[in-house]
Amino acid sequence: MKAFIFPGQGCQREGMGKELYEHFSIAKEMFERANTFLGRRITDVMFYGDEIALMETKNTQPAVFLYEVVLALTQSEIKPDVVAGHSLGEFAALVINGTISFEDGLNLVLNRALIAQKVCEQYDTAMGAVIGLPDEYIEKRIKEISEESGENIYFANYNGPGQVVITGSRQGIRLACKALKNEGAKKAVPLAIGGSFHSPYMAKAQEELGNIIEKTTFKTPSIPIYQCVDGLSHIRPDEIKRNLVLHITHPVLWTSMTQNMEKDGVMEFYEVGTDDTLQKIVARMCPDKQVTSLWEIPTYKNINLLKNKQL
């Protein structure tokens, strides 16, 4: 079995998608459809904008979503048996398996970004990365630190064994990172992200975006999707829709998603993104499986040769 895995926010880079636009007619068509739908040329930001422009709320999430969908659609060599997306990546996965249309996915992602940003501005919150301690220990300690300090601290991402993201009040994240570093974490640092995604702080965003999700048409997908909220495989549209609403306040269970894909027979994982963020995690968890980037298949050979020549 083959899985397409889609990374989330953070994999954006300058020039993303330009090579696809120039080499594939379907990519050009999809990018122009996005420009028309958004009423502006987001491709100008993606192809020619700097890092600051790509980090603007109205650009970041649509750009990542658009790039991932287009990358998956420009090749026909590999047909995935299942899909899975990390946080934002779940929306691209839902387009590729046919659950939602391209335009509906773009609409949801744009609203997700704008609504979340609006909610984030109401609270002084932050996120932090912790590496090198057992998940159970971190769970116990952030609960203790939260109770002792009165600051809210939650799990945001279970990215892999001993590799997690926590979130909560800015002061709570500072306290937790300092304590966990002193208690043996290889890394425990606040991230350059304002907000508290995948936590109860997003309750208002869940309600607002949830209303939009409920009005969106969800079809029975062609292949199953492993979803962030429970790590399990789903194919029923009503379940997928419910999980996508819960996704906004619920931690990302990427560890469970990867373990369940392996248990269910996935032998090949292809990351559909700009870098190797998910590949590194999956390769550590599944050392005997094939883990690579979609960019490594022959479809993109000429583009990669051109890149290497330019380097």
- How many degrees, rounded to 5, is the angle at CA 257 between CA 252 and CA 260? 155
- Active site residue: 86, 146, 198, 199, which one? 198
Cα–Cα dist 134/175, whole Å = 18
Q: Which of 204, 201, 208, 133 is nearest to 167 (CA)?
A: 201
Residue 101 annotated as catalytic = no
Residue 87 region by backbone torsions, left for phi larger than 0, else alpha for psi between -120 and 50, else beta: left
Cα–Cα dist 168/154, whole Å = 6
Residue 198 annotated as catalytic = yes
Cα–Cα dist 91/240, whole Å = 11
Cα–Cα dist 85/156, whole Å = 15
Do residues 202 and 115 lie in contact, with contact meaning Cβ atoms separated by under 8 Å?
Answer: no
Per DSSP, what are the bridge partners of residue 270? 4, 292
What distances in angstroms separate CA 98 from CA 50, 91, 102, one per listed residue?
32, 11, 9
Active site residues: 87, 198
